[in-house]
Each structure stands twice: as C-alpha cells, then as structure tokens.
Amino acid sequence: MISTTIQIEGEGMQMLRQLDAALVNRVELHHDIAIRVENETRDWLTELAKSRHKTADALGATPTGHLERAAESVTSAFDDDGATITVTSPGITRAFDDLTITPGPGKKYLTIPATAEAYGKRAGAFNDLRLAIFRKDGAYLLALVKADQSSLATRESSGFGIESQRARGSAAPLKAAQRPPVYYWLKQSVTQKQDRSLLPSDALLMKAADEGVKDWLRDFFAEQAAAN
Amino acid sequence: MNALLQPAPFFAALKLLAQKNLVPTELDTEQLRQIDASIRRQALFSARMTQLQALQSLSDALNAMLEGTGNLADAKLTLLDSLRELGYDVGQGGFPQDKPGLVPSARKGSLRDLASDKRLTLTITTNYRMAANQVYVTRGLEPRRLKQWPAWELVRIGRVRTPRGFKRGAMEPLPGDDWPSRFVAAGGELFDKGTRMIALKTSDVWQRLGDGAGGHKDTLGNPFAPFAFGSKYGVREVPREECLTLGVLVEGDAGETKLSTEDALREFVYRGLMPKSEWSKGKIRIAPVTSKATAGGVDPKLISAMKRDLFKDDDGLLKLRQAEQAQARAAYGNRSAETPLRNRLGMLCGLINARSARVRTAMRTPVDRSAAAKKGWVTRRAHGWRPSPRPGRAAVQRMKTEARTGASSLGSALSRQRDVPEGMTTPKLGKIDFTWGRPGNPAANEHGVTYADGYGISHIHAKRGMEAIRRLPVVLARGRVLPHEEPDRRIVQYAGWSAIVKEHGKGRWEVRSLIDDLVVANPKKKGMRGGEADMKHKPLLKRLKNKAARLSLGEAGPTTKMDAGEEHPGPTHAAQRFAKDGVVASKDSRLHGLRARCKALVVALQRNGELRTANGEPVLA
C-alpha cells in the first residue's frame, strides 16, 4: 500500500480550501498515480525482457518472451479507495515470495527442459520421447530422452528403460555419443527463490506515485488558474 | 491465501477476445490483407486454418494465457493437440476434412505448416499481443490520460536474433526495412537527435505504420502493436512534459489534445478501436447502439448544422437560428441541400421541445383521482394502488442490448465450460461474471433438494435446463434487485424467475443460481430460499407470480431526462398517456432512433460548451 502526503507551503488559504474540497473525491488523484505506476512497471518489465534470458542462453535456445507478455499485460484500475496495478503472468508472483512449482492435476512430475529443442515446449509436443532412468552415485534420475530413431530392437538398454553407464558386457562407460539425448529431466517439484527484482523496487514505485500526485496537482492548479 | 500469489486475469483483453467471431478460412496471408483491417479485428482467424475446432482451441489457449493460468508452451500444446486430433498433415494439403486442393501443400516445419513450432508461436503470440495492445491503446485515448500522456513512443520490447532491417541469418542490411525508416515513411518524426520514434496518440502515423507505409507487406493493418508479423516492437506512453521538452508538443497549441465529441468518435471508429464499428462514406456506425451512443447513423452534415444553428432560448427550448438566405446557402452548400437539413433540424427541435413541454405540463397537472370515484368505478387506485413506473423506450432498448450481450457471453461460457468474466453489465448491479462453478450432487439431500451444493452456470444448466439459461440474461437485465438474507448476496427477480448473485469484488457480482417461484414477499425470512422448499406455498406463489408478471419492472429510463442536467422522478400516468399519443416519434417512424441519437448529441454538445444561447454564449450544463 502506498500512501501520500501532500504539503503546501506559502500563502493561499483559498487554494488550500479548494484543494481540500477537491481531495474529498480522490478518483482522479488515484487515476494519475495508477498511470504513473503502471508505466513504471511496464518499462521495468520491458527492460528485463530485453536482457534477462539466463536459461535460454544457457541452452542456446530462443527465448519464450514471457516477460514481454508480462510487460504488455500490465494494467491499472483506480477508484476512490486507491489504485491497483495488475500483471498477468504466472511467474511474476516470484517477486513477492518463493515460488514452488508442482505438477498439474493428474501429473506426477515436472518436465525441466535440458536442450534447446525442448525449451519453450511441453513434452507432449514430441511424439518420440521415452522414459529413461539414469543411475548416478547411487541415486536415480528420471528423464525423457529422444527414442532411438534407427531401430528399437538394437537399442542398448534394458527392457525397462534403465540406462546404464556402461554398454552391455563392457566395463567401459558409454561414450557421450552413445547416450540417448536427454530432452527433459523429471522432477516432482521445483522451488524458485523470491526475486524482488522482477518488479520495480518500492522506492521506484513510490517515486512514480509521487509523480502521479504532481500530475494531479499540476492539473488542479491549471484548472484553478483557468477558472480565475 | 495471499492475493499477491494468485494469477490476475487480464479482464479487458479477455472481454475483447470473447467478442471476436471464430472465422475458419482457406485464404492465405496476402489474400487476408485485402480485407479491411477493421473487419479483421472483429474475427479470430489464422491463414489456411479451415477448421473451427482448431480455432476454438486457439481461443481457449489464448484465454488461458490472458487469465494467467497458462503459458506459451501450454498454449502451443493445446493447439497442436487439436491439430493432431483433426488429422492435420501439411504434406497432404492440411486437414483431411477439407476438399482436395483447397489448401496447397507446404514444407513440413515451415511457417505454412500450422503444426510447426514457429507457426504455433507466431499465431499465439501475435493474437495475444494484439489483444493486449488494443486494450492499452484504447485506454490511452481516454480524455484525462490523453491529456497527461499525449504521445506514444515506438520501442523495442524483446530480443531478436536478426533485427528488422537486416537479412535473416546475415548482417546484410535491407535499406528501408528497419523501424526508424518505416516510422519516417509513415509520416513520423524522429526526436532527441534522431534516436526516438515518437508521435502523438491522435496522429495518423500509427495507422499508416500498421498499414505498411513504404510498401511493406508484413504488416497487420492495426494502429497498435504488433505492427508487423514477428515484430518485437511495442509502444510506451510519453508524458506531457517530456513531449514539450522534445518538441513533440508545443505549449499553448490550442486543440493539441482536445477532441470534440464528434472528432473523438471519428478517431475511435477510424482507428477501428471500437469493436464492430465501421466508418464509410462519411457516416459513423457504432454498434451496439445504446442511449449513450451519440453519432450512430447521423449524417455528419447534420451534426455540423446542429452545432452551428441550434440554440436554447430563455425557456430552455431548442430553437433554430434564422439565417439569411444567402448565408444559409453558403452554410449548407446549395439551396436543395439547405431545405431538407433545416427541415430536419426544425422537426427535431419540435419533437424535443414538444415532448419536453408536454411532459413538464403533465407534471404540473395533478391527476384527478376523484373522477373515477365519481363515476362509481371501483378502481385499484381507490385502494391506493399505483402503477410501477414503466421503463422508457431507451431503457427498454438498453435492457435488450444488455440481455443480448449476456446471452452471447453465456453461450461462450456453456460452449467452453469455463468462467466468462464481465459477461454482462447492468446499471443496477454493475459487472456480472458468469462463473462456471459446479453442477452439484444430483441426488436429493435430506431436505429433498437436488444439486444442493452446486453453484454457477453449470449448476443452473444441470438443475433447470436450457430454458433457465435462456431466461437468465433477461432476468439480470430487466429484473428488480431485492435484498437477500445474506448481506453479500442479492435477488434479481423478473417474471417469476429469481437469480441469486453474490458480490465477489467491488462492483462485481457472480451468478450463483436461478430459481423459479421464489417467494419475494419477505425475502429476509429464513427458510424461504429454495424452489423445492416453497412448494407448500403454491397458491400464494401463484398470486405473487401473476402480480410480478403484471407489474412493469425496472427503473425509469434516460428519456425521463428532458434537458441536460434536468431530471424528474419518473414519467407519471399522464406522461405515459402522452407517450402513447405519439408525441414522440413512434417505433415505426424513421425518426425514432434518429431522434434519440440527436437528442443525445444535443446533450453532448451542451456538455462540451458547443451549444449557444441566442446571444452566442455557451449554454452551461
């Protein structure tokens, strides 16, 4: 909640009285504040959208553009009680608290993209992925891998899809080229730490709100001057 | 749960999307460009997407994104699943349901392949951005906002591999294709040493940019972003002080952002920002026409003539200024044009003044209630009965429009089986959301009530059937609002049906149920809430139902406003009689709607200070 204090110095008791009367209904004041804060939030998200592509860059993938869409979805509403800024983006709530992502209804695992081709797509978009279980340091890792396109009969794996680090009958580990390409890692849940920088800081928002108040005052004084 | 952790729907864009018609088409992009952009904006389509089911999936996917419950990957999968279900195969000419040869084959994985990732991404992101930006630009033209933020700046909003102005995959420049060149070709100016592309919101630059000024064929025809396919450019608002500093705006430039009613409407229509509007041959048509739509179907020459020649005399009656013959000829063009216009103006004045005068007279004349008693008639009036005020013609028209809007939203909710926010708006309640809810348990509970734990549209459909669904928008539009025993609920009652609505936000209501034969004599009495529970009061219910059906429900309409700023409590019995005498233009008359619209124009002119007295002074509202 942002509150504002308006201080007027110098002479002008009449102006004070008029101002006091004008502030009884604060709809226009909140309107001006809402627009300033809305535009501040839009500009912030737009800047982030141009530069923040850590996962896409790590995988060498095309960014999905979710921050661009978040920026374009910023809207504001206002009434006598205050101003509200709305951002429509599932991940934006991470600005306020840790975000724990769990599978949707009827699903057991989240699919975390592991390759550029998989980034920005759901696993269901592919029709040739198979489940693979990797063993590493005694732990099991579930993944969706690209099925061997050559021949299922010659696939080097057990019937249950457990991928061994070693080829059958060999003590040597599988070479990288022999391992099936992992498209998605499967996880039961993922927790993303809060990231306040997804939205403008409180100081910036307060500054924008102050600008909104100044807009309203400027307009108010201009109207008074025109009336006189 | 913390409200900040819930996704917030983009209501305005959802509403815009809900108004679009799904239009399957076999046309390609170039052929679709030939269709006027204002018509294209009213439809949801994709080039060569010939199946309605696929378009429905696209609409569902976009809805989920705008509600904040889905992302781009989900949307692409939804659309892809639909294409797979329909058996789409680009190599075989598309959908098997299409006629052979209707759509030419294309390379798999290309943009012409509807199932390719790049096509799915382009289709979804383009439609999403169009909805979001149309809302942003429309809101940016609101008068106060326009005054304080008078300009847009074209800015990059996302990263691309190859910017426009360079050949894809190479750094070889394409002269004239970059955005600054396109902006200048559209008539725009570069500010701040040629680094910023800024133009006033009311400028035609934006429409020309969307039309591809300079010969560009990759544009969408819209005066809002995205201005071209695959563009990562959007707009941001520029505040007034920055415009003055940069020289976009000049201080004291009269009319720099002021728009008269007519100009504002023309701008809206010209830019196609009002859905289902058209501008052709100098006439404006805005749909749906409500009592507040001011210029629908009115000849602009008439509007100009009204501004020039109408004035209000000391009695508050509209009069026509007497112009010299030569002056009149000059004003109206030629003698043959002069007479019909002046006749029309004169007729309108007569209609407006006559109704005003007669209604005022009727108010001053008390109704002689003793006359009936002298004749020996035992009337309901003798027993103190007074008819409820009948809604005026404009109010009825408004209710019909609201009901149609509600029916359309309800159809959308039923077909998609999901919530439709702001399904309709009524003056008594405000915004009404059609919540899908849940049907409830069909087995009867211990009170004998079926579907007792249900609520929302699914519950009404399950329990009452399609008849109730058809009645619901009419009940909400025309019904009277009564208190409910729970403070956050209301009963909206009309013609024997009662809708229960619950407040779930400031000025927002959701429909919970629709009941028939609800006892309204004492709505606060406990236990009298359900249809089944009331069956024992059948005789009383029947009398009340008949009474409700006889009484005119609804408030007095805006036609009770005689002049701007002047209202009376409602039409009296005598005024209703006058209305029947045809003092106002009858429904069949050509002038019926025109009169209402012109009267609204007069009010708008007065509000804008454009209506003058005989001395030429503006008539104040």
Q: Is the peptide bond before A105 cis (omega within 30 degrees of 0)?
A: no
Neighbours of A191 (CB within 10 A): 9
Cβ-nearest to B68 among A50, A71, A88: A88
Q: Does the distance separating the beta carbons of A125 and B76 come in below 8 Å?
A: yes
Tokens of B617: 């002074």
Cβ–Cβ of B5/A97 closer than 8 Å? yes
User: In which band, very low, low, confident or very high, does the pLDDT at A166 lie, cut at 50, 70 and 90?
Assistant: low
Q: Lay out the sheet containing B189-191: strands in order across.
A: B189-191, B196-200, B151-156, B233-238
**Cβ within 8 Å, pair A68-B2:** no
User: Residue B322 — very low, low, confident or very high, per pLDDT cuts 50/70/90?
Assistant: low
Test B157 with A62 for CB contact under 8 angstroms.
no
- In degrees rounded to 5, what are phi and psi of residue B598? -70, -35
Residues B464/B440, Cβ–Cβ less than 8 Å: no
pLDDT (tens digit per residue) in B247-256: 888 765 533 4
DSSP secondary structure letters along B531-561: TGGGGGGHHHHHHHHHHHHHSPPS---GGG-
Indicate the pLDDT class of residue B37, thresholds 50, 70 and 90: confident
* Tens of pLDDT, residues B58-81: 999 999 999 888 889 999 999 999
Alpha-carbon gap: A12 to the closest alpha carbon of chain B (Å):
25
Alpha carbon A80 to chain centroid distance? Answer: 30
ipTM of the complex model: 0.83
Inspect the interface and report whether the beta carbons of B132 and A69 lie closer than 8 Å.
yes
Q: A13 vs chain B: nearest CA distance in angstroms? A: 27
**B117/A121 touch (CB, cutoff 8 Å), yes or no:** yes
Residue A38 backbone phi and psi in degrees, to 5: -60, -50
Tell whether the model's pLDDT for residue B267 goes beyond 50: no
**B159 Cα to chain A: minimum distance (Å):** 5
Give the span between the Cα atoms of B134 and B226, in whole angstroms.
10
Nearest residue of B to residue A120, measured between CA atoms: B73
pLDDT of residue B483: 81
Cα B110 to Cα B106: distance, rounded to the nearest angstrom: 7
| Nearest by CB: A53 against B71, B135, B159 | B159
Nearest CA in chain B to A118: B73
CB B209 within 8 A of CB B216: no
Which is higher by pLDDT, A141 or A172?
A141
What are the tens digits of pLDDT across the range B594-611?
Answer: 555 556 666 666 666 666
Tokens for A80? 């006598």
B55-64, B425-434, B515-524: the lowest-pLDDT one = B515-524
The set of residues, in sequence order, having a beta carbon less than 8 Å from that of B199 and lying 6+ positions away, is B151, B152, B183, B188, B189, B205, B206, B248
For residue range B517-576, list pLDDT tens digits in order.
543 333 344 443 333 333 334 444 454 445 444 433 222 333 333 333 333 333 333 333
Question: Is B157:A68 a contact under the CB 8 Å cutoff?
Answer: yes
Mean pLDDT to the nearest integer, A24-37: 87
Q: Where are the beta strands (DSSP E) in B365-418?
A: none
Contact B437, B455 (CB under 8 A): yes
Q: Least CB-CB distance to A73: which of B5, B132, B225?
A: B132
Separation CA B222–CA B211 (nearest Å):
7
How many CB pairs lie under 8 A apart between chains A and B? 120
- Closest chain B residue by Cα to residue A81: B506
* CB spacing of B73 vs A64 below 8 angstroms: yes
| Higher-pLDDT residue of B463, B528 | B463
Q: How far apart are CA B373 and CA B368, in angstroms?
A: 10
Among chain B residues, the shortest Cα distance to A122 is held by: B73
DSSP string across B15-47: HHHHTSEE------HHHHHTS-HHHHTTEE--T
Cβ–Cβ < 8 Å for A115, A183: yes
Taking CA–CA distances from A219, the nearest residue in chain B reads: B148
| Most confidently modeled range among A6-20, B132-146, B284-298, B528-542 | B132-146
Lookup: tokens for B56: 């429905």
In the block, residue with structure tokens 């390609």: B28
pLDDT of B45 strictly over 70: yes
CA B442 – CA B463 distance, rounded (Å):
8
Average per-residue pLDDT in chain B?
Answer: 71
Interface mutation target, options A72, A74, A214, chain B, most CBs of B under 10 Å: A72
46-85 in A: which are within 8 Å (CB) of B? Answer: 46, 49-51, 53, 62-66, 68-69, 71-73, 75, 79, 81
Alpha-carbon gap, residue B138 to A150, rounded angstroms: 55
Among chain B residues, the shortest Cα distance to A27 is held by B144
Q: Which residues contact B198 (CB under 8 A, 6 or more apart)?
A: B151, B152, B153, B154, B188, B189, B191, B238, B243, B246, B248
Mean pLDDT of B91-120: 87
Cα angle A73-A76-A79, degrees, rounded to a multiple of 5: 160
What's the rounded Cα separation, in Å, for the pair B475 and A51? 52
Q: pLDDT at position B545, please? A: 47
Kindly determine whether residue A50 and residue B156, on different chains, have CB atoms separated by under 8 Å.
yes
**Residue B144: its chain A contacts at CB < 8 A?**
28, 31-32
Q: How confident is the model at residue B294, as a pLDDT?
A: 35
Q: Which tokens is A57 given?
A: 């860059």
Choose the weakest-confidence range: A101-105, A150-154, A177-181, B453-457: A150-154
Q: Which ranges in B318-392 belong to alpha helices (H)?
A: 325-332, 335-364, 370-374
Q: A121 — contact with chain B (CB < 8 Å)?
A: yes
Name the residue in chain A with its Cα closest to that of B224: A72
Average pLDDT over residues B183-208: 91
- Provide, as residue numbers in chain B, all residues whose Cβ is less than 8 Å from the Cβ of A49: 157-159
In this prediction, residue B578 has a pLDDT band, given cuts at 50, 70 and 90, of very low
Read off the pLDDT of residues B481-501 as tens digits, 9 standing for 90 and up. Answer: 888 878 888 888 887 788 999
* pLDDT per residue as tens digits for the range A109-125: 999 999 998 999 999 89
DSSP 8-state class, residue B438: B
d(CA B343, CA B335): 12
What mean pLDDT comes out for the span B255-283?
A: 43
Q: Which residue has the higher pLDDT, B233 or B251?
A: B233
Residue B618: phi and psi, rounded to 5, are -70, 140
Interchain contact, B10 vs A86, CB within 8 Å: yes
The torsion of the CA quartet B139, B144, B149, B152, rounded to 10 degrees, works out to 30
| A73/B13 touch (CB, cutoff 8 Å), yes or no | yes
Of B5, B74, B157, the CB nearest to A122: B74
Instruction: List CB contacts (< 8 A) between A32 and chain B.
Output: 144, 148
Contact B149 A39 (CB under 8 A): yes
B236 CB neighbours in chain A (<8 A) are 39, 42-43, 46
From chain B, pick out residues whose CB is under 8 angstroms from the CB of A93: 4-7
Q: Each residue of A19-28: pLDDT tens digit? A: 667 676 788 8
- What is the per-residue pLDDT across B269-278, written as a single tens digit (0 to 9) for each? 444 334 344 4
Residue of A nearest to B84 (CA): A125
Beta carbons within 8 Å of B218's beta carbon, 6+ residues apart: B212, B228, B229, B230
CA-nearest residue of chain B to A53? B159
pTM of the full predicted structure? 0.56
In angstroms, the first-to-last Cα distance of chain B is: 48
Greatest C-alpha distance within chain A: 98
Residues of chain B in contact with residue A63, where contact means CB-CB under 8 angstroms, are: 158-159
- At residue A80, the 3 state secondary structure works out as coil
